[in-house]
Amino acid sequence: MTMIVIGVIVVLLIIMYVSGYNGLVKAKIRTEESWSQIDVQLKRRNDLIPNLVSTVKGYATHEKETFAKVVELRNQLTQVPTDSHEETMEVSNQLSQSLKSIFALSESYPDLKANTEFTKLMEELSNTENKISYSRQLFNSTAASLNAKIQSFPSNIVAGIHHFTKVDYLAVPETEKAVPNVSFD
């Protein structure tokens, strides 16, 4: 009789252990997936920037510094190793800021605003900017569920044995907190 009870308890423990481990692995994969979503968008934006610069150059000849800054940040972003989330996002946020100043150029150069290539690039870039911020939101929520699993009982025991570590949240840039998204009325 006691053998049966012990057997049942052991089996239950094994089931709990396995399901705890699988849950952690799944949550870990989700955060990696959502990070790669961000990465895809960052790469996409990097591909668009040379086009943007060559389109805008002809119209706004006095804005060399603005272009140089954007190109520099873009190149800097390609140098950052992809697994250092924090650094990547910091450079990316700076890049977003300087891209905004290029968008703003269209106000002072009406010819540029009328250029169809430029309006297309604007939509493409604001699309990637939006996707970056939504993917960041997704990353943070997947990170939150992984962190919750790592901290809560009983999966924290499994997490301790297999060295699952908490994932840091991605900070939302101050500028984005203050000003709501760019609107295109």
The binding site for another protein (CB under 8 A) comprises 37, 123, 126-127, 130-131, 134-135, 137-138, 180-185
Give which of 136, 134, 151 is closest to 27, Cα–Cα. 151
Residue 174, both tokens: 């101050």
For the CB of residue 148, give the shortest distance to another protein in the complex, in Å: 14
For the CB of residue 137, give the shortest distance to another protein in the complex, in Å: 6
List Cβ neighbours of 115 (8 Å cut-off, separation of 6 or more).
Answer: 55, 59
Of the pair 23, 69, the CB lying nearest another protein is at 23
For the CB of residue 44, give the shortest distance to another protein in the complex, in Å: 12
DSSP H helices in the chain: 2-57, 64-79, 85-108, 110-114, 116-151, 155-161, 174-178
Of the pair 62, 177, the CB lying nearest another protein is at 177
For the CB of residue 107, give the shortest distance to another protein in the complex, in Å: 17
For the CB of residue 32, give the shortest distance to another protein in the complex, in Å: 14
Of the pair 120, 162, the CB lying nearest another protein is at 120
DSSP state at residue 181: P
CA triple 152-155-157, angle to 5 deg: 100
Of the pair 28, 73, the CB lying nearest another protein is at 28
List Cβ neighbours of 184 (8 Å cut-off, separation of 6 or more).
Answer: 126
For the CB of residue 37, give the shortest distance to another protein in the complex, in Å: 6
Contact 89, 82 (CB under 8 A): no
Of the pair 54, 130, the CB lying nearest another protein is at 130
Of the pair 43, 69, the CB lying nearest another protein is at 43
* Tally of CB atoms within 10 A around 66: 18
